[in-house]
Amino acid sequence: MTIHQPRYSKEEFAQIGEQIYEMQIRPKIEAGNEGKIVAIEIETGDFEFDASEIAACDRLESRHPDAQIWIVRIGSRYVRR
């Protein structure tokens, strides 16, 4: 099992992830997908979305094995409650 090391501070990581989601992804996929999870590779902007957090992350990691993944729930400020 590979251990991924963070390449950004928590603040930078959150800022980059939110910016990519709000500017590039949200306008394209929000309608009709409320409640689904979006997994974003913050260095490339590539993303996957699914009802399952694990499924979205697995598909994204299959393309980007060393991904730095930011996760967002569509239509919510929280991924988990």
Q: What is the pTM of this model?
A: 0.88
pLDDT band at 21 (very low <50, low <70, confident <90, very high): very high
pLDDT on residue 4: 65
pLDDT on residue 37: 97
pLDDT on residue 7: 81
Q: How far apart are CA 55 and CA 73, in angstroms?
A: 14
pLDDT on residue 76: 87
pLDDT on residue 77: 81
Q: Which alpha helices (H) appear in the chain, and where do they start and end? A: 10-20, 26-29, 53-63
Report yes or no: 70 and 48 within 8 Å, Cβ to Cβ.
no
- Phi, psi of 60, rounded to the nearest 5 degrees: -65, -45
Share of the chain above pLDDT 90, in %: 78
